[in-house]
Amino acid sequence: MDDRSRDPFSITIGGTRDSRAHLRVVDHKFYIGKEEYSPYIAEMHYFQVAKRHWSVCFERIRKANFRIISTAVPWNLHEARQGEFDFAGTSDPATDLVVFLELCREFGFKIVLRPGPWIGQEWDRGGIPEFAARTPEMVATDVKGEPIIADPGAGARTVQLPSYLGGRFQIQLKNYFSVLTEVVRNYIYPRGPVFMIELDHETSFGRHFDPLSADFNPKGSLAAFGEYLAEKYQELDHLNRAWKTKFKDFTEATPIDSVSLKTSQEFLRVMDWIGFREWIINRYAASLAEMLSQTEVLVLFARSLAFHGPYHFPNTASSTPEDRTVFTVNLDWDTPFADTIRRARAVSGWQATGICTGLAVGSCHPDAKAGHAYRPITPADTRRMIVAALAAGINGINFHMFVGRPRWYDSALESDGAVGASFDVVDRALTRLIASRHEIMRDFADVALVQYRPYQRIATLGEQGEYSYLADLSGPSFNAVAADLMALSYDYRLFNLESTSRLDKYGTIIVPCGEMMDTADQERLLELYKGGAHLILYGLLPKTDTRFEPCEILAKGIGFRTVAEGQIATVDAKRHGFQSLVYGSIRRAPARAVKLAKVGTKLVGASNRVGKGSVTVLTFSPGSLLYPEKLVFFREVLHSGKLQTPVFSSDPRTHVVLQGHAKAGLLMVYHTAETVGVPDGISDSPNARGVIVGADISVIGLSAPRIGLTNVFTDETIKMTPKELKSGIEIRIGRGDSRLFLIDKQR
C-alpha cells in the first residue's frame, strides 16, 4: 500500500519557496511566509455578530486552538445601492469589515474571505444585490424563459439568479471586487492576514441541476454555447457528423428544448448541453479568479464543490485542479450521512489535500429555537461528523458557524460569545490532532472507487429507457459497493475516471462500466490493469465511445466480451447464491479465466490475471445491501486481488479506519446506520452494544511494548500491548455513535 497521505501536492505563489512573501499548501498545512498553520478554521460572520462581542468570541476561538478565521462577505450588505459602498460601518455597524480585519490581525488570526458573489448562508438573497438582476437580459432563465430562483435557505429571501457570464453582471462583479480589494488591500497577504479567498460558493445555478433549468438567456451565458462547442469538437465537421446537422458556423447551434435520448443525435445534444452547463460554471469561476488577480491579489483560491443527490462526484469541477485553487467540500446535516461520507472521500481522493470548507457545527432553521426543539445537534452529532470526515481523508476543516448567528442553532459559541455544548468537542479534537501531527499521518486507503462523468450526467436525467442501467451503475449500485467496502473495513477514495492522475497509487480499482466509454478512458483502464492493479469492472464492457463510434479497446485488451440481458435473477456463485440485478452476461472470456458466478448456464462473473495485473468482470450489481451471502462473495472478489486492511470490526455497520506515523496513530470508529438505508431492529436501536474492533499498528511504524488508546473526547486511556489491539478490543457503540482514539507509546 502506497503512502498517499504524503503525495507531492503543493501550491506556491507570491515568491520563491525560500522567500518570506510566499504562500504554500504542502503536507496538508498552510505555509504563510515562514510560519506554518494547521488547516483548522473557525467561521464567524462579523455582520451577524454585534461588534461588542467580537473580542470575547476571538478569545474563545483562540482558546479552542484556532489560528485561522473565515467569514462571508455579503455583497448586498456592502453595496445596498449600486455604486454606493460601505465597508467601514458608516451606514450600519454590521458593515464594518475593516475593523473586523484589524481586530483579527491584533489577535494574530489569519483569514479566509468568502465574498461570493453568492454566499448562501441563509442570508437574504444569498448576498446578491437586487440591481444585479434588475432587467430580463441580466437574469438566468430556464428553457421556458422563466427566471431561475436561488434560495439561500431557512426562510431567507430568495433572489433571481444573475446570468453568470452575462456582460452587465460581469461588469458589476468587477466593480465590486475592485472596491473590495482596494478597501482591504492592507489586510491582504503579504501586507495582512487574508491569505485565501473562496470563489463564489457551491456554484450550481442556485442548486438547480435539471438540464432544462439554466441558463437559456440568449443575452447571458447562452451566448457562449458556440464557443464551448468549438472548444470541444475543434472542427465543425465533427459537430455536424455527431448532431447530424449542416451548420456553417458553431454559433448556429441551439440549446435543447427537451430531454430525449431516443436517437444518437438527441443523446449527444443533451450530453453536450449538460457539459456546457459545467463549462459555464468553470468559466465563471475562472472569471472571478481573473478579476481578483488583476487587482494584484496574490492569495490562494478555494472552490467549494456542488454535489447533486446520490451522485457523489461533483459535476461542476474542472478535469484537473488549477495550480492556485484548492477544491473543497461542505458537510452538513441537510445531507444524508451516507452522502456526506462519499462526498468527503471524493474530494480527498481527487485532490491530495482534502479540505472541508464547511463542516457544520449546528444547523439552520427559520426559527433557531424551533429548530433546536425539532432536531437538536448534539455534541455526539458533532463528534460523529468530525470522526467521519477524518476517516474519509479530510485533513483540513473549516468549522462552519463555529460562532452562531440568526437562523442558526447549536453552534460551539453563541453570537454573544457564550460557550455552546459542542465547544469542548471541537477543542479536544483540535488539541489532539495538532499535537499528534495528524497532517503527516499515513492512510491505508488502497481501494479507488471510480465514477464516470458521462454516466453521472445520464443518471441526473432519471429513467431513460435503454440507458436506465447506467443510472443504476452510478447511483444505487455504486452506493451499495461503497457501503460494502466500509462494512468490510476497507478504506477507499472516490475518483472521476476522466481525472486519473492519482489512480495508479491504488491496488484495487472498482469501475462501473457501460456499453459506451471514450477511447482515452478505456486506454487508461488498460494501463492500470497492465501496471499491476486489480481492476473490478461491473456492468457491461464498452462497445462504442460516447459519440457512438465503435470502440472495444478495453474488451479486447482484457479478452472479455459481454452482452446486454437486463433482468433480476438468482446468481450462483459456487458456495453462495443470491438475488441480484443482472445487466447481462459474459459471452467470451480468456481460456485461463476463473469462473466466479453464473445465472443458469450463462456466465456473469469471471476473473483473469496477466502479469502483475488482474481483472474481474461482473455483469451484475455487486453491492450487497449487507445481504450476508452476497457480502461474503464480494469480500472474496476483493481478496483475490490480495487486498489487505490493517483494521477489522465484528459489526459490518461499524466502520474502522487507521491513520498514523511512527510516533502516533488515530483509530476512528463510527456507526454507519443509514449508510445504505436498510433499517433493522439491532443496528437502528439507540442502545449501545458490544463491538469488537482491532488494528495492526505495525503498518504505521509505531513500535512499543505497551501502547495507550486515549479517547480524544473523554481523555479516558486504555493501556494494552500492540498484540492485544491487533487481536481486538470490545467497545460499546450505538446508532449514530463514534469514537476517536489517539494511539501512542506508554511506559
**DSSP code of 28?**
T
Cβ distance 161 to 191 under 8 Å?
Answer: no
Buried-exposed string 418-446: b where 16+ CB fall within 10 A, e elsewhere: eebbbbebbbbbbebbeebbbbbbbbbbb
677 confidence band (pLDDT: 50, 70, 90): very low
Q: Residue 711's closest CA among 747, 670, 666, 675?
A: 666
pLDDT at 182 over 90: yes
Weakest-pLDDT range from 195-199, 333-337, 599-603? 333-337
The C-alpha atoms of residue 183 and residue 375 are separated, in whole angstroms, by: 41
3-state secondary structure of 117: coil
**Helices 379-391 + 337-350 axis angle, to 10:** 40
Find the mean pLDDT for residues 631-637.
Answer: 95
Q: Given this model, what pLDDT does residue 498 score?
A: 81
Cβ distance 356 to 330 under 8 Å?
Answer: yes
Buried-exposed string 142-170: b where 16+ CB fall within 10 A, e elsewhere: bbeeebbebbbbbebebbbbbbbbbebbb
14 confidence band (pLDDT: 50, 70, 90): low
Between these two residues, 93 and 22, which has the higher pLDDT value?
Answer: 93
| C-alpha cell at position 96 | 464594518
Q: Given this model, what pLDDT does residue 321 score?
A: 44
Q: Given this model, what pLDDT does residue 675 score?
A: 44
pLDDT digits (tens, 9 = 90+) for 354-393: 889 999 999 999 999 999 999 999 999 999 999 999 999 9
The CA radius of gyration of the chain, in Å to the nearest whole number, is: 26
Weakest-pLDDT range from 105-109, 458-462, 613-617, 729-733? 458-462
Find the mean pLDDT for residues 47-71.
Answer: 97
Q: Given this model, what pLDDT does residue 285 score?
A: 93
Residues forming a β-bridge with 397: 40, 356
Q: Given this model, what pLDDT does residue 3 score?
A: 44
pLDDT digits (tens, 9 = 90+) for 284-295: 999 999 999 887
pLDDT at 676 over 70: no
What is the percent of the chain with per-residue pLDDT over 70, rounded to a whole number? 93
Weakest-pLDDT range from 37-41, 180-184, 307-311, 640-644? 307-311
465 confidence band (pLDDT: 50, 70, 90): confident
Q: Residue 536's closest CA among 452, 459, 634?
A: 634
13 confidence band (pLDDT: 50, 70, 90): low
Task: Map out the domains of the chain as residue ranges.
Answer: 36-208+297-439, 447-640, 647-746
| C-alpha cell at position 144 | 421556458
Cβ distance 716 to 705 under 8 Å?
Answer: no
The strand order across the sheet containing 647-649 reads 647-649, 689-695, 729-733
Biggest CA–CA distance in the chain, Å, is 81
CATH number of 36-208+297-439: 3.20.20.80
How many residues appear in the chain?
747
Strands 300-304 and 325-331: parallel
pLDDT at 175 over 50: yes
pLDDT at 190 over 50: yes
Contacts of residue 453, Cβ cutoff 8 Å, sequence gap at least 6 = 313, 315, 496, 497, 498
Q: Given this model, what pLDDT does residue 457 score?
A: 87
Tracing cell 456592502 back to the chain, one arrives at 78
Kindly report the average pLDDT of the chain as a whole number: 91
Q: Residue 5's closest CA among 431, 493, 407?
A: 493
Q: Residue 713's closest CA among 388, 503, 514, 429?
A: 429
Find the mean pLDDT for residues 717-730.
Answer: 96
CATH pick for 447-640 out of 3.30.2270.10, 3.30.70.360, 3.30.420.40, 3.40.50.880: 3.40.50.880
Contacts by residues 28-31 (CB-CB < 8 Å, ≥ 24 positions apart): 28/353, 28/354, 28/395, 28/396, 28/439, 28/440, 29/439, 30/68, 30/110, 30/195, 30/196, 30/300
Q: Residue 431's closest CA among 710, 128, 104, 50?
A: 710
Q: Given this model, what pLDDT does residue 684 score?
A: 41
pTM of the predicted model, to two decimals? 0.94
Between these two residues, 322 and 592, which has the higher pLDDT value?
Answer: 592
What is the percent of the chain with per-residue pLDDT over 90, rounded to a whole number? 77
12 confidence band (pLDDT: 50, 70, 90): low
pLDDT at 263 over 80: yes
| C-alpha cell at position 85 | 459602498
pLDDT digits (tens, 9 = 90+) for 518-558: 999 999 999 999 999 999 999 999 999 999 999 999 999 99
pLDDT at 81 over 70: yes
pLDDT digits (tens, 9 = 90+) for 382-439: 999 999 999 999 999 999 999 999 999 999 999 999 999 999 999 999 999 999 999 8
Strands 613-618 and 534-539: parallel
pLDDT digits (tens, 9 = 90+) for 217-261: 999 999 999 999 999 999 999 999 999 999 999 999 999 999 988
CATH H superfamily, domain 647-746: Golgi alpha-mannosidase II (2.60.40.1180)
The C-alpha atoms of residue 601 and residue 475 are separated, in whole angstroms, by: 29
